[in-house]
């Protein structure tokens, strides 16, 4: 069957890597990773997060890029095409649809969180962060959120910037903007880490991030690590899939995946190395929660030489990181409207923008006017975060690996991944057994259906994967065939 011709392709070899790294590196790395690491106690959490990236994140990302490039289209259409080509049931397109919906839902609260970074860049300059205690700075943060006009105005700015870039197109908008924003981000981060290194408490930061304390390993922490691995790599939300659909045929899926995953992980660790020494040097607590960078860091910036400069640099860096992620969250929807309904990119971006503003307005209002409306104990902002990170992304991830590992005719993925036999066998083993079993166990645990803490009984998990793998390969000896071929 003839393959779909790509309508857009990255211009340069670095196009995909910069854009996908731009998508992956965002609030997740600089805002969420440090505070959840702080909450779950440091090194043990970092280790679980790294394990989830390796065992689940990388195989899922490879699968997602390959599905996007094979299907050449919006997540819904790409998955539908690949399913058709590979002889899988047409309902598999639901996985693509869910990813698109999840991406849009993330976008609706992401612009609000991104707007904090933009607002704080400005607040560093206009003197509104002069308060001298963490409590008082907490008050500043709350007052900012309590004012719907402030929060709304900054969120509108983020949404307009995002839509403007996306409307300009894949090459002239997205590729061009990430090609200067990403190097800029790297320079800013290195300056900040350099400062932290010279600040005297660097080793306290290193100890906190890398000292392993087995008692801190719990099922709850594992759950958080898994959700975060999906979120930070932008998986199962349409972003990586749509960017993958613009990847030229000759580029290696595996190699690009490794570059993006390593860059994302490095940025998270470097952000931790920039932030924790500053926190410790100023006697602040690492477990301050979501407000960590907004309530603790401004206090530290006040006390350091050239603090305003470093403060502006820091929040500008977070703003850019958030913007390149927000862009990737709209692209799938814009590409879908453009491809399926023939709407121009500019009009599609406008339409998506209207819906985005309506929903994110509600997310914004949940901090002030509608603060009392918390069905099920969560406001709308928290619901959007919870539903996507804890449920939709892992579900979408399991869907993709099962589709690719079991349901497609094997030539499709083998062709698209184009790996040496051992590499292919390893990928197949991961997507068939390791990733789905691990995601499944974390799910069952979250639902309270597992009567034990999966981490404490890890040998059961390893055993289950082993038995499944042996049984599975005896029934369907594809991996052995692959090995024999090599």
Q: Between 392 and 428, whose beta carbon lies closer to ligand PHE? A: 392
**Stretch touching ligand PHE by CB under 6 A, among 23-31, 34-42, 126-134, 464-472:** 23-31
Does residue 8 touch ligand PHE according to CB under 6 A? no
How many residues line the site for ligand PHE (CB under 6 A)? 16
- The stretch near ligand PHE (CB under 6 A) out of 231-239, 273-281, 310-318, 360-368 is 231-239
User: CA-based diameter of the chain, in Å?
Assistant: 68
Scanning residues 62 to 121, which ones bind ligand PHE (CB under 6 A)?
A: 103, 106
Q: DSSP state, 393?
A: H
Work out whether 44 is an interface residue with ligand PHE (CB under 6 A). Answer: no
Do 324 and 15 touch, CB atoms closer than 8 A? no
Helix (H) or strand (E) holding 415: helix 410-417
Of 29, 121, 177, 265, the one binding ligand PHE by CB under 6 A: 29
Stretch that binds ligand PHE, among 10-18, 25-33, 219-227, 286-294 (CB under 6 A): 25-33
26 lines the binding site for ligand PHE (CB under 6 A)? yes
245 binds ligand PHE (CB under 6 A): no
Q: Does the footprint of ligand PHE cover residue 234 (CB under 6 A)?
A: yes
Q: State which of positions 319-378 bind ligand PHE (CB under 6 A).
A: 325, 328-329
By CB under 6 A, tell whether 401 contacts ligand PHE. no
Q: Which of 209, 239, 318, 363 binds ligand PHE (CB under 6 A)?
A: 239
Contact with ligand PHE (CB under 6 A) among 49, 231, 243, 381: 231
**The one segment of 21-29, 145-153, 289-297, 353-361 that binds ligand PHE by CB under 6 A:** 21-29
CB crowding 411-427: b at 16 or more within 10 Å, else e = ebbbebbebeeeebbbb
Instruction: Tell me the CA distances in angstroms from 197 to 141, 146, 190, 207, 267, one per residue in order.
Output: 28, 36, 10, 13, 16
Give min distance, CB of 48 to ligand PHE, in A.
17
Look-up of token digits 């904090």: 116
Question: Distance (Å, rounded) from C-alpha 78 to C-alpha 66?
Answer: 10
Angle, nearest 10°, between helix axes 148-167 and 345-365?
160
Q: Which long-range contacts (CB under 8 A, 24 or more apart) does 306-313 make?
A: 308/124, 308/125, 310/192, 310/195, 311/124, 311/129, 312/121, 312/124, 312/125, 313/188, 313/191, 313/192
Residues that bind ligand PHE (CB under 6 A): 23-24, 26-29, 103, 106, 231-232, 234, 237, 239, 325, 328-329
């Amino acid at each position: 069957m003839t393959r779909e011709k790509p309508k857009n392709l990255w211009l340069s070899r670095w196009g995909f890597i910069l854009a996908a790294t731009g998508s992956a590196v965002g609030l997740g790395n600089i805002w969420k990773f440090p505070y959840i690491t702080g909450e779950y106690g440091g090194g043990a959490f970092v280790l679980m997060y790294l394990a989830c990236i390796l065992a689940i994140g990388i195989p899922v990302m490879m699968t997602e890029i390959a599905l996007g490039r094979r299907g050449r289209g919006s997540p819904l259409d790409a998955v539908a095409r690949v399913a058709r080509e590979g002889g899988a049931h047409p309902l598999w397109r639901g996985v693509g649809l869910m990813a698109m919906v999840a991406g849009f839902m993330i976008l609706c609260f992401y612009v609000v969180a991104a707007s904090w970074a933009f607002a704080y860049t400005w607040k560093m300059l206009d003197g509104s962060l002069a308060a001298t205690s963490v409590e008082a700075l907490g008050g500043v943060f709350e007052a900012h959120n309590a004012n719907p006009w402030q929060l709304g105005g900054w969120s509108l700015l983020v949404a307009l910037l995002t839509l403007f870039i996306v409307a300009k197109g894949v090459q002239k908008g997205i590729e061009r903007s990430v090609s200067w924003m990403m190097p800029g981000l790297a320079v800013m981060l290195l300056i900040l880490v350099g400062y932290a290194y010279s600040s005297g408490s660097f080793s306290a930061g290193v100890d906190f991030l890398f000292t392993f304390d087995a008692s801190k390993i719990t099922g709850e922490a594992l759950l958080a690590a898994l959700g975060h691995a999906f979120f930070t790599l932008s998986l199962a939300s349409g972003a990586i899939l749509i960017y993958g659909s613009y990847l030229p045929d000759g580029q290696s899926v595996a190699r690009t995946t490794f570059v993006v995953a390593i860059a994302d992980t490095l940025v998270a660790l470097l952000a931790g190395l920039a932030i924790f020494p500053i926190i410790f040097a100023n006697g602040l607590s690492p477990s301050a929660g979501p407000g960590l960078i907004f309530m603790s860091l401004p206090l530290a910036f006040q006390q350091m030489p050239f603090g305003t400069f470093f403060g502006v640099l820091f929040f500008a860096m977070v703003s850019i990181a958030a913007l390149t992620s927000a862009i990737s969250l709209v692209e799938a929807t814009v590409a879908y409207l453009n491809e399926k309904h023939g709407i121009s990119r500019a009009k599609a971006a406008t339409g998506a923008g209207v819906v985005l503003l309506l929903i994110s307005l509600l997310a914004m209002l949940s901090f002030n006017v509608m603060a009392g409306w918390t069905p099920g104990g969560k406001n709308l902002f928290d619901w959007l975060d919870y539903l996507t990170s804890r449920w939709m992304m892992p579900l979408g991830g399991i869907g993709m690996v099962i589709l690719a590992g079991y349901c497609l005719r094997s030539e499709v993925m083998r062709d698209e991944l184009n790996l040496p036999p051992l590499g292919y066998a390893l990928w197949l083993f991961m997507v068939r057994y390791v990733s789905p079993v691990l995601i499944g166990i974390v799910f069952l645990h979250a639902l309270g259906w597992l009567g034990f803490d999966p981490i404490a009984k890890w040998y059961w998990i390893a055993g289950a994967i082993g038995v499944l793998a042996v049984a599975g390969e005896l029934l369907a000896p594809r991996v052995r065939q692959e090995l024999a071929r090599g």
